[in-house]
Structure 1
């Protein structure tokens, strides 16, 4: 019988002001509630990364969680922690004190970056991964890293990504979508959605777009996302100005239904990340029937393989330029990418994947989804 009371802990969760901050966690929470589970959430909702803000928001989150642990901790069947460290540490307190089942979802940055910040954090990460009742990895490469680098038994890890909400991310007729977005019908829109940070390969994207623009004056580039790093954002603007690149438009993060329209409007969606746990945003673009060009890293390597997208070398402007150009110049290539992308979207439908998560909350003996 499924667990009925679930506590979700996360160091990212969206608000009306920060719409995209951990939106994938909120999507899963809402999907769990639709399944009839009682789900409470204790999360960080402030996306600010300046030093003082980080200290204050994490301190507030820690104190709130500790009070909750002591007062209400015993009432849950399952605690589901998103991100191994630091969230998993808080989840571990519930497990130790109240013997609740602990599920931890690793999203990528917690394994690739956070665990490598210091020897102590790496050891804590390993402890959490071993103490959890089950670990969810959002991508195949992440699953392998957790098994190989942290010695977690394969039977204790499942590969379950956050899934795409196909009720929101669905195809809209391109001309209509472009009209809604205010895009001139003569233009060829290229789209990036995600945080405006260096690790997403945006400097390379500007350089690749600059080359495309010289050959085809009708291309335009739209960047939609939260400006997480003010100094990098100014560097990006400087790059655009120095190279005199025209028709680059940068917008703040939008809600999902707005993003879905932009995805349908785009001729090609690009994700030139330096590292990526899974790349859910690429899957969302596929679900909107837009071809995807993305880096051959992390979860994207698996998501875009076998012709579901075009894989390019990370940090490589020429490879990115050629990948985008292929889609723009060859309608047949675009058509094939859309067909295979639709199959990927079906395989990763949130409704299907949420069942796997629910089963992990109270699994039969020996169950494994890896």
Structure 2
């Protein structure tokens, strides 16, 4: 049996976008190949340590017998992988959000090297492909777009209509940080509290970081450290998923919400180019809260009884079966 190596300093986890995609990829490939995951050491991942970890992973790849190597961005930047997945670019994040310029420049350089020496680069979205070309000067011929997929047998509508309360429940799933739009969430939360006549609620599924800003907000409810099964129920519990993110490669949260039958409203980063022709997705860049709530209300009215329909569309375009066919085509060797 042929051996595939997956290089990822974080290993496999059923959390986060990048880690979850690697977990799914591992499960799919194990049906036909012997698959090994190559990770770094167990030391804490500090900024300088990340570079060391990627060097360790790169060196391991030179000495472990294999037929094919799948890289993850800069995680094995010194090894010429057969294909390297890119979920975004550090230079793109720096351009749109900012951050530590020294750290961003180092990781960006590692990403560029990784993409240059890879035989083929897989961009998870059209915007990622654009960044690889424009920011790192990677030839178009060395890039192929393969969108993330959603586990449609796990993320699905539990009922055709779940929220039976006389309230519009707005959902958010993600880290409570600036990149994910925490300022916009805080602004919405304050607005709802100051307008008691409105029948809206904001429900946030997250970890504990930065959640104190929502203390004493009567219309905002925090759901901390939910399990995967609880996340599915959470997606099913609301009317509209709101994602004011400032940067994404191809959002897993958006796909998971849609697969559960919940329409999505958010920034152009939340709703990638490949999703913009879907009527259950609405791009909104305005900071006007009344306008946002009006658009959310319209989405709720239009798709309240169409959860199964939304799920079927997402399953066909971004489901596991479709993804498996595409990934095995790439791995013919």
Bin the TM-score by the shorter chain. Answer: 0.7 to 0.9
CA 79–140 in structure 1, closer or farther in 2 if over 3 Å, else same: same
Q: Which residue number corresponds to residue 92 of structure 2?
A: 112
- Note the alpha carbon deviations across 1:105-158, whole angstroms, 9 max, x for none: 110143522698455554443332121111111111111222233232222211
Equivalent residues of 1:142, 1:298 under 8 A apart:
no
Match of 2:38 in 1: 42
Deviations 1:294-335 (A, max 9, x none): 21227534424442311110766455434323334xx22555
Instruction: Provide Cα deviations, 1:169-206, integer angstroms capped at 9, x if missing partner.
Output: 1110167x66xxxxx84544321111221111122123
> 2: CA distance between counterparts of 1:29 and 1:61?
21
Once the two structures are TM-superposed, the CA of residue 287 in structure 1 deviates from its matched residue by 0.9
Determine if contact 2:173/2:204 at 8 Å carries over to the other structure.
Answer: yes
The residue that corresponds to 1:285 in the other structure is 257
From the superposition, tell whether residues 134 and 253 of structure 1 become closer, same or farther in structure 2 (CA, over 3 Å): farther
Map 1:27-176 → 2, pairs under 5 A:
27-34=24-31, 36-43=32-39, 53-54=45-46, 58=50, 61-62=53-54, 65=57, 68-69=60-61, 72-73=63-64, 75-82=65-72, 84-85=73-74, 87-89=75-77, 92-93=78-79, 95=80, 101-113=81-93, 117=101, 121-173=107-159
In 2: Cα distance, 1:39 partner to 1:135 partner? 20
Report which of the two has the higher share of helix: 1
Q: Counterpart in 2 of 1:223?
A: 204
Query: What is the 5 A alignment of 1:304-343?
Result: 304-313=276-285, 317=289, 319-328=291-300, 331-332=301-302, 334=304, 339=309, 342-343=312-313
Normalised TM-score (structure 1):
0.75
Instruction: Say if 1:8 and 1:80, in contact at 8 Å, map to a contact too.
Output: yes
Report whether the alignment pairs 1:352 with 2:322. yes
- Selected match of 1:199 from 157, 164, 179: 179
Give the CA deviation at 1:351.
2.2
Q: Distance in 1 between matches of 2:309 and 2:57?
A: 45
- Equivalenced residue count is 325
- Are 2:261 and 2:306, in contact at CA under 8 Å, matched by a contact in 1? no
> For the residues of structure 1 that align with 2:173 and 2:54, how far apart are their CA atoms?
31
What pairs up with 1:177-326 in 2 under 5 angstroms? 185-212=165-192, 214=195, 218-227=199-208, 230=209, 233=210, 236-238=211-213, 240-241=214-215, 245-297=217-269, 300-313=272-285, 317=289, 319-326=291-298
Paired with 2:199 and 2:315, the residues of 1 have a C-alpha distance of 30
**Any conservation in 1 of the 2:160–2:306 contact (CA below 8 Å)?**
no
Which digits, 9 at most, give the CA deviation of each residue in 1:60-86, with x for residues without a partner? 74575366335x42x11121112x22x
Alignment gaps of 5+ in structure 2: none
> Quick one: distance in 1 between partners of 2:290 and 2:133?
34
Unpaired runs of at least 5, structure 1: 96-100, 179-183, 364-370
Query: Compared with structure 1, are the counterparts of its residues 199 and 264 closer, same or farther at alpha carbon in structure 2 (3 Å cutoff)?
Result: same
- Tell me, in whole angstroms, the C-alpha distance in 2 between the residues paired with 1:33 and 1:173: 33
- The alignment's TM-score, normalised by the length of structure 2, stands at 0.82
Q: Which has the higher contact order (CA 8 A, sep 6+)?
A: 1
Q: Name the CA shift for 1:306/1:290 in 2 (closer, same or farther; >3 Å).
A: closer
